[in-house]
């Protein structure tokens, strides 16, 4: 839990695409076994300290013949940005 000690609150939001492999038959679409994609994301302005980061999926296109499983999280969170990680 992040406890806020002052009235200075910063919220940054945005959208990014980690990959789009269905149109090129890329590894995240056609590959098998463990796969990973990462992307460094910069905040629009620096926070005073590393914030809590919440990620959500906006579009997930999967083949009906496969189980849907993934791990999607933020790591290396700093006051300036973080790394988004998607693993199968």
DSSP H helical ranges for the chain: 27-30
Question: What pTM was estimated for this model as a whole?
Answer: 0.72
Q: What domains are there in the chain, each with its CATH number?
A: 36-87 (2.60.40.2080)
Residue with tokens 């994301």: 41
User: pLDDT of 26-69, one tens digit each?
Assistant: 656 655 667 788 889 999 999 989 999 998 887 776 666 666 77
Beta bridge partners of 87: 36, 71
User: pLDDT of 5-34, one tens digit each?
Assistant: 666 777 888 877 776 656 666 656 655 667
CB atoms within 10 A of CB 84: 19
Q: Cα 40–41–47 angle (5° rounding)?
A: 125
Contact between 38 and 85 (Cβ < 8 Å): yes
């Amino acid at each position: 839990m992040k406890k806020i000690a002052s009235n200075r609150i910063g919220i940054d939001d945005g959208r990014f695409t980690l990959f789009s492999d269905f149109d090129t038959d890329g590894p995240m679409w056609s590959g098998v076994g463990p796969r990973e994609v990462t992307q460094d994301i910069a905040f629009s302005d620096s926070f005073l300290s590393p914030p809590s980061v919440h990620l959500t999926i906006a579009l997930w296109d999967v083949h009906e013949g496969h189980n849907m499983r993934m791990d999607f999280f933020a790591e290396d969170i700093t006051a300036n940005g973080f790394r988004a990680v998607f693993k199968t």
